[in-house]
Structure 1
Amino acid sequence: MSRRLTSGIFAPLAPLFLALSGCAAGTATAPAPRVDAAEPAVFDAGMVSAADPRAAEAGAQILRLGGSASDAAIATMLALTVVEPQSSGIGGGGFLMLGDAKGAVESWDGRETAPAAATPRRFLDAQGRPLPFRTAVVGGRSVGVPGNIALAARIHAEHGRLPWADLFQPAIHLAREGFALSPRGFQYLARQPDTGGHDPQARAIFYGVDGKPLPVGTTIRNPALAGTLETLAAKGAGAFYKGDLAREIAARVAGETPSDGKMTEADIAAFAARQRPGVCAPYRAYRICSMGPPSSGATTVLATLLQLERFDLAGLGPDSPVAWHLIAESERLAYADRELFLADPDFVGVPVAQLLDPAYLRRRGALISAERTMAQVSAGLPAPGLARGEGPEEHGTSHFVVVDRQGDVASWTSTIESAFGSGIMVGGFYLNNELTDFSFVPEKDGRPVANRVEGGKRPRSSMAPTIVYGPDGKLLLVVGAAGGATIPVQVARALIGVLDWKLPIDTALALPVLFAPGDTVNVEKGSRLEAMIPALTALGHASVQAVEMPLKTNAVMVVDGRLVGAGDPRSEGVAVAQ
């Protein structure tokens, strides 16, 4: 039976909610499970891994009250709206993988949609040239209809155990009573004042009278967001998509859209979260499932891995420049296919089966050599009538994972795109700039780009919420990342770390990142990969550079029947046991 949350229940949690603790990557271990040989293991406690400890604790509290993995994931998403407003929240959307202990998976699409009147020229100037990125981002032109609340409502209806209103209480508490501004939050406010402080409502919450961000540790209260969450808790998801809130969103976005397809109330009312086919493939002895179109997550992660199966990555190990060279070459091939083919499948035929066909990936993998670099790469399938797209990708984003006592899991990547999205704030939350994930150039040489803007279309994403099952068919790992186009390589790196290099999950998340979407190999600045630049150059990579990348991965793993979770050491992420 469900137990309703009350202010009394949450009162003991106030010190945790109001103070940022454990900001470094954390590893938490639940008690040993009770094992029944006839059934999958049932854990004595569940676990949540998220990019902010207050949000992870919010999800864990829902598990303690008997909530499902889906319930806890919703509570975590709502809490991140409050404590990590630069990255995700109810003003954005996301993708969600659900799974159970026996290997059944579901794939859910809460990606934002373009207004019905949007045209392929949305991000071109009067002369037909792509707009500068920041010009395109700030204001209404970049805003898609938010999907996270609709997604939450769908999965709660099918998988929820606690009442809908209960899931909002941790976030309402954080918004009304306040939370400590974290170092990461302060850095984003200082770095992106054009969006963080674009809206007067936002400036009043996060900035001082001098126009500078409030200091680290300041208690931030957001009563407008608390009121919005209380309304949604009482009235349901419909209060987001119809009525006063929808009217205000449409008016604000339209008022800041200079031309081309202003958002309407009808656009908001028409939004629907979609269940999509799950995309799974075997890698060595494991079964890996991730998010298909309109995300490029599954195809890019799986292609990167499967093209490498013929190589002994385990024997090479994480300190081998050859291993990282092979990973770079496989990424180049995977991203070449991604750039040409991946888009909203409701508008474009995406050849997922062909891209993940084992024979096709063996042929692609045969192009990779341990001794030399491919001179050039291109998509491996014919694409008559399609042109390769151009355009920046999401840079904000948050990922969180939940495993409950029954072994049910949720892997949810949520985003408002760039830091603080479009900069527009309504009801205490930022609206996304997700439409800048479309290709700014709609066609080349008379051929359309698959990921061009179209009315009602969902922009391509890199999000890759992932679930891994072991050789015995049982749950092994739940993982996902934030960081725009680097998301697939972060996930692939974590999977290679665990599955090939047999590293503990926290060590795997701390591995450096190599990102090679084209002819330039980007290695994480300050990591061990920077010292490998001469070796990578000797293998034939003409351009290798050390760069800072927006990296943030979260995971929970089953180790000897126990749950072990971790957060990326580059973030404030932690894992919290139930």
Structure 2
Amino acid sequence: PRLHNGLNNFGRHLDPWARAHFLGDDGKALPVGTILKNPEQAALFSAIAAKGPDAYYTGAVAQKIVAAVNGAAQNPSKMTLADLASYRAKERAPICGTYRVYKVCGMGPPSAGGIAVLMILKQLERFDMAALGKNNPVAWHLFAESERLAYADRDLYLGDPDYVRVPVKGLLDPGYIAARSALISPERSMASVAPGTPPGAPPRTPAPNADIPGTSDLVAVDRRGNVAEVTTTIESYFGSGLSVGGVMLNNELTDFDFVPAKDGYLVANRVEGGKRPRSSMSPTIVYGPDGKVRIAIGAAGGSTIIAQVAKALVAVLDWKMSAQDAIGLGLLYAPKLDAVAEKGTQLDAMVPALQALGEHVQIAPLGLKANAIERVNGQWVGAADPRSEGVAVREDGQTTQIVRAGAAPRPPE
């Protein structure tokens, strides 16, 4: 259903191959339940598995990519074969900090996720979120206030550290976090929100930027206890709409700020040659006091990703909810003064109380999707978002168990 609806809403941007693959003769999305086969993609993946990244970034595939983007009907690119051949995936140091007795590690810049999730949590640390509980409007008000502060700093300071100075240590400095947290009151919402000035902050000014949801997330653990949390995106639905080798090409350029300067200052996330754009991707691994992984979690949904992950971690670590129930919990999304309470969730009934606290909040649906694996009583338990068709798959010896979203897993056989 998600793919079917996405095609109906965004399919007009697809190139001829994608239209022939995903749409019927009438130009409409193929019916729900249609089995699609993609031999071109299978062949490409097989080539990458056998030959490594060069199978994609050089040779025939690279030539097809350059031809496709150079010859695009809309916004043709000047990409060259040298651009692709010189690209390297770059390993970044993780961003780690603590929340209560837990160690929280996330993705570093140019992703804003690791820093922003930690800031939300650390700004809440002085409040007794456990005592307030998930059904208390004050708890959600505090969460919204912490979101606003973190998102304001994210918009101002986060970008590619190869091109701009990102004050990572300053943003997570205990004194700075305490000063930002002091702006949060349990009694009343703040009248305005602005970025702070962390230690080591360069002069910067924010500019408009919009994250467009076209993201996937997965998490896996093997029998040795190795955990991988992956968030990947092609930016908007179906990316650029262009395809090569059965794969949709991204339009990641839209993750940059389109306005390069404001008030005489260059924007940190402005477009520059070779630069990588900021994102909201927030793959996160949390370790317990024993040093073992407690939960690994990530999400899809544009700029809501940061709030989704932070919300689920508060629910698991403070409210002692299962990862499955924490993911399914409704979200109060507040990147600015105005907030959105996810429609059809426990937040619907809290809106009057939130408004009494000064929250400018409306009820609306949110396109959310998170996944997690947590360790409970020495066993790994998967969690999939009940909002989507995602599943958790568990293997016990020769038995493969598929746990549908919202369903409790059976004990090992």
Please, what TM-score do these two structures have when normalized by structure 1? 0.67
Alignment of 1:84-483 (within 5 A): 183-195=1-13, 198-256=14-72, 262-381=78-197, 385-483=203-301
User: What is the match of residue 555 of structure 1?
Assistant: 372
| Alpha-carbon shift at residue 558 of structure 1 (Å) | 0.4
Alignment of 1:29-44 (within 5 A): none
* Alignment match of 2:337 (pick from 512, 519, 522): 519
Structure 1 residue matching 2:257: 3-state secondary structure: coil
Alignment check: 8 A CA contact 1:251 1:264 kept: no
| Alpha-carbon shift at residue 234 of structure 1 (Å) | 3.0
| Alpha-carbon shift at residue 565 of structure 1 (Å) | 0.7
Alignment check: 8 A CA contact 1:254 1:263 kept: yes
Q: Whole-Å Cα distance in 2 between the matches of residues 345 and 490 of structure 1? A: 25
Range with bigger deviation, 217-226 or 239-248? 217-226
Taking structure 1 as reference, are residues 237 and 400 closer, same or farther at Cα in structure 2, changes over 3 Å only? Answer: same
Structure 1 residue matching 2:347: 3-state secondary structure: helix
User: What is the match of residue 177 of structure 1?
Assistant: none
Whether 1:572 and 2:389 are equivalent positions in the alignment is yes
Q: Whole-Å Cα distance in 2 between the matches of residues 385 and 312 of structure 1? A: 35
Alignment check: 8 A CA contact 1:225 1:428 kept: yes
| Alpha-carbon shift at residue 258 of structure 1 (Å) | 6.2
* Alignment match of 2:326 (pick from 501, 508, 520): 508
Post-superposition Cα deviations, 1:107-130, rounded to whole Å, max 9, x if no partner, equal xxxxxxxxxxxxxxxxxxxxxxxx
| Alpha-carbon shift at residue 528 of structure 1 (Å) | 1.7
Alignment check: 8 A CA contact 1:389 1:450 kept: no
Alignment check: 8 A CA contact 2:69 2:76 kept: no
Taking structure 1 as reference, are residues 212 and 259 closer, same or farther at Cα in structure 2, changes over 3 Å only? Answer: closer
* Aligned residue pair count: 393
Structure 1 residue matching 2:25: 3-state secondary structure: coil
List, as ranges, runs of 4+ consecutive aligned residues in structure 1 with deviation greater than 4 Å: 257-261
With a CA cutoff of 8 Å and minimum separation of 6, indicate the structure with the bigger relative contact order: 1
Taking structure 1 as reference, are residues 257 and 299 closer, same or farther at Cα in structure 2, changes over 3 Å only? Answer: farther
| Alpha-carbon shift at residue 452 of structure 1 (Å) | 0.7
User: What is the match of residue 141 of structure 1?
Assistant: none
Q: Whole-Å Cα distance in 1 between the matches of residues 153 and 61 of structure 2? A: 40
Q: Whole-Å Cα distance in 2 between the matches of residues 243 and 521 of structure 1? A: 48
Q: Whole-Å Cα distance in 2 between the matches of residues 384 and 460 of structure 1? A: 17
Q: Return the letter of the residue paired with 1:265.
A: L
Q: Whole-Å Cα distance in 2 between the matches of residues 277 and 264 of structure 1? A: 30
Post-superposition Cα deviations, 1:312-364, rounded to whole Å, max 9, x if no partner, equal 11011111100000000000000110000000000000000000111211111
| Alpha-carbon shift at residue 535 of structure 1 (Å) | 0.9
| Alpha-carbon shift at residue 230 of structure 1 (Å) | 2.8
Post-superposition Cα deviations, 1:428-457, rounded to whole Å, max 9, x if no partner, equal 110011110100111112211110111011
User: What is the match of residue 540 of structure 1?
Assistant: 358
Specify every segment of 5 or more residues in structure 1 that has no aligned partner in the other structure, as ranges: 1-182
Specify every segment of 5 or more residues in structure 2 that has no aligned partner in the other structure, as ranges: 396-413
Post-superposition Cα deviations, 1:2-33, rounded to whole Å, max 9, x if no partner, equal xxxxxxxxxxxxxxxxxxxxxxxxxxxxxxxx
Range with bigger deviation, 530-539 or 202-211? 530-539
| Alpha-carbon shift at residue 223 of structure 1 (Å) | 2.1
Q: Whole-Å Cα distance in 2 between the matches of residues 310 and 390 of structure 1? A: 32
User: What is the match of residue 164 of structure 1?
Assistant: none
Range with bigger deviation, 341-350 or 218-227? 218-227
Q: Whole-Å Cα distance in 2 between the matches of residues 380 and 257 of structure 1? A: 43
Q: Whole-Å Cα distance in 2 between the matches of residues 361 and 246 of structure 1? A: 46
Q: Whole-Å Cα distance in 2 between the matches of residues 232 and 352 of structure 1? A: 35
Range with bigger deviation, 343-352 or 445-454? 445-454
Structure 1 residue matching 2:326: 3-state secondary structure: helix
| Alpha-carbon shift at residue 261 of structure 1 (Å) | 6.0
**Amino-acid identity (%):** 57
Whether 1:528 and 2:346 are equivalent positions in the alignment is yes
| Alpha-carbon shift at residue 384 of structure 1 (Å) | 5.2
